[in-house]
């Protein structure tokens, strides 16, 4: 599997500057803008077939950009309706299969909702489904990271603890760390340098350096309330301190992909990339484990 050598930045889906076209036109625009990543958004359906996925993969290599995939939003691996669980698992599986054929490195998904379940019961059920998906992908020779996402509402399965634990217990799973969702889920939890650093420390201490060297990150501004996430905003319109986030990512020498989910998509992706690579690199942090 591909190993990132740095942080790559791009939009969640086709840039807003593309007036007509699909994934390939979006990739060409990403390159023209000076970005180097893009997330293929299977929001409502998986719209690439095998032939078009192979064409995307060919162009990805030519442009030297990194692709990730977002599985359809309608996924609930903890539904009370077994047919919905089966359909949800199939959506995640198919997203991974098509993403792999398109040359994508990572596929993120929303795992589900607690519903009437206790959190531990929901965890056990979702873990069983994710493990089955991972086994099938391994049997098929599909090499792509499975990424349960940190979600922005306490009613949704996807706390930082839950996605780290899934990654500990299921092979070929690492989290999608959505810092806006973390901020909203905690009602404004990310305020200081140490708040951001604690997320990376938890990943490294529980999962090892591999987690920081292979990060799939989502960032946007966000509006939130008592029930967590309300809607995504542009970075400059919200209280998430994205400059502090960039500093922490730089200090920890994080590698992987940063995907902008702001409404302005490519503009905030460019803002983050310019901040990250334009700012002076700070001195190396003190490390407690002697690496």
pLDDT score of 283: 37
pLDDT score of 291: 36
Tell me the HSE value of 103 on the side-chain side, using a 13 A CA sphere.
22
**Phi/psi of residue 176, each to 5°?**
-95, 115
> What is the SS3 assignment for 24?
helix
Q: Structural domains in the chain?
A: 7-278 (3.20.20.150)
Location of structure tokens 């089966």: 86
| Strand partners for 229 | 224
Tens digit of pLDDT for each residue in 246-278? 999 999 999 999 999 999 999 999 999 999 998
pLDDT score of 40: 98
What's the DSSP call for residue 8? E
Cβ burial of 1 (10 Å; 0-12, 13-18, 19+) is exposed
Tens digit of pLDDT for each residue in 184-218? 999 999 999 999 999 999 999 999 999 999 999 99
CA atoms of 242 and 249, how far apart (whole Å): 10
What's the DSSP call for residue 12? B
- SS3 per residue for 29-68: HHHHHCCCEEEEECCCCCCCCHHHHHHHHHHHHHHCCEEE
Q: Please compute the mean of the pLDDT values over residues 98-109 and round it to a whole number.
A: 98
CA atoms of 45 and 39, how far apart (whole Å): 15
Q: How would you label 176-202 residue by residue, b for 16+ Cβ within 10 Å and e otherwise?
A: bbbbbbbbbbbeeebeeeebbbebbee
pLDDT score of 82: 96
CB atoms within 10 A of CB 130: 23
Name the helix (H) or strand (E) containing 231: strand 228-233
Task: Find all residues with CB under 8 Å of 79, minimum gap 6, and list them.
Answer: 85, 88, 112, 113, 115
Q: Which two tokens stand for residue 53?
A: 């996925």
Cβ burial of 5 (10 Å; 0-12, 13-18, 19+) is exposed
Q: Please compute the mean of the pLDDT values over residues 60-85 and round it to a whole number.
A: 97
Tens digit of pLDDT for each residue in 150-176? 999 999 999 999 999 999 999 999 999
Q: What percent of the chain has pLDDT over 90?
A: 93
287 pLDDT more than 70: no
9 pLDDT more than 70: yes
CA atoms of 254 and 272, how far apart (whole Å): 14
CA atoms of 5 and 251, how far apart (whole Å): 15
The whole-model pTM stands at 0.94
pLDDT score of 1: 87
Does residue 122 contact residue 77 with C-beta atoms inside 8 Å? Answer: no
pLDDT score of 279: 60
Tens digit of pLDDT for each residue in 229-248? 999 999 999 999 999 999 99
């Amino acid at each position: 599997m591909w190993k990132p050598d740095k942080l790559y930045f791009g939009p969640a889906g086709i840039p807003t500057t593309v007036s007509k076209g699909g994934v390939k036109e979006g990739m060409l625009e990403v390159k023209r803008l000076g970005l180097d990543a893009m997330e293929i958004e299977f929001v409502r359906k998986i719209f690439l077939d095998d032939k078009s996925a192979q064409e995307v993969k060919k162009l990805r290599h030519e442009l030297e950009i990194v692709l990730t995939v977002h599985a359809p939003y309608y996924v609930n691996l903890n539904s009370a309706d077994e047919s919905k669980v089966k359909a949800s698992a199939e959506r995640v599986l198919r997203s991974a299969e098509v993403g792999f054929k398109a040359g994508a490195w990572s596929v993120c998904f929303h795992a589900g909702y607690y519903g009437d379940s206790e959190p531990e019961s929901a965890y056990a059920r979702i873990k069983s489904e994710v493990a089955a998906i991972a086994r099938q992908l391994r049997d098929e020779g599909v090499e792509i990271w499975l990424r349960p996402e940190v979600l922005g509402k306490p009613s949704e399965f996807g706390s930082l603890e839950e996605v780290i634990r899934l990654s500990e217990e299921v092979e070929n799973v690492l989290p999608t760390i959505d810092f806006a969702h973390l901020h909203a889920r905690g009602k404004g939890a990310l305020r200081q340098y140490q708040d951001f650093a604690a997320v990376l420390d938890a990943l490294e201490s529980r999962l090892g350096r591999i987690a920081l060297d292979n990060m799939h990150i989502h960032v946007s501004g966000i509006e939130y309330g008592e029930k967590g996430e309300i809607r995504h905003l542009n970075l400059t319109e919200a209280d998430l301190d994205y400059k502090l986030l960039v500093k922490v990512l730089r200090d920890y020498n994080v590698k992987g992909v940063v995907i902008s989910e702001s409404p302005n998509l490519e503009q905030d992706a460019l803002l983050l990339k310019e901040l990250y690579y334009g700012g002076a690199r700070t001195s190396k942090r003190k490390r407690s484990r002697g690496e």
